[in-house]
Amino acid sequence: MRKINFIIVHCTATPAGREVSVAEIDCWHRQRGFNGIGYHYVIGLDGTVHSGRPEGLAGAHCRGRNATSIGVAYVGGTLADGTPADTRTPQQKAALRRFIAELKRRYPGAEVRGHRDFAAKACPCFDATAEYAAL
């Protein structure tokens, strides 16, 4: 198994309220030259946790950190005009907290960070490091 140092939180950078499937993200990522969906998990608008890339494989979600991280994305992250915004539904907020706590139990040394902590972008459009610091 890979050594996991980070659980990195992302958004799909899609408008609030628009559901996006793992298959759709897989298609986007393949169009960008990835060998499949880059995230290990995707949290739908209703809070359902969907599996993406198998955990045993390095992700394709955060340059320089893929080999030692788990990528978790929530669906959303922008307003209708494309402006970055925390668009998480109450169900997504609850599911993210529960699921990240579960991942922390499995990978106790892993730090929870937002993609923006490693790249010049707004993703995941909230301060994941602060929000999950107590987990």
Q: Report long-range pairs for 124-131 (Cβ below 8 Å, ≥24 apart).
A: 124/9, 124/10, 124/11, 124/73, 124/74, 124/77, 124/86, 125/11, 125/77, 125/78, 125/84, 125/85, 125/86, 125/87, 126/86, 126/88, 128/9
- pLDDT at residue 95, as a whole number: 98
Report pTM. 0.97
Q: Residue ranges of the domains in the chain?
A: 8-131
Confidence of residue 124 (pLDDT cuts 50, 70, 90): very high
Confidence tier at 89 by pLDDT (50, 70, 90): very high
Would you state the pLDDT for residue 2?
Answer: 86
Which tens digit of pLDDT belongs to each residue from 23-70? 999 999 999 999 999 999 999 999 999 999 999 999 999 999 999 999
Closest CA to 103 of 69, 59, 126, 130: 69
Amino acid letter, 117 = D
- pLDDT at residue 1 is higher than 80: no
* The amino acid at 120: A
Query: In the prediction, which pLDDT does 81 show?
Result: 96
Q: Which residues are catalytic?
A: 10, 39, 115, 121, 123
Over residues 13-17, the mean pLDDT reads: 97
Listed in sequence order, the residues at least 6 apart from 27 whose beta carbon sits closer than 8 Å to its beta carbon are none
CA distance 25 to 31: 10
Does residue 112 register a pLDDT over 90? Answer: yes
- Superfamily name with CATH number, domain 8-131: Peptidoglycan recognition protein-like (3.40.80.10)
Token pair of 8 as six digits? 């990195």
- For residue 103, what pLDDT is reported? 98
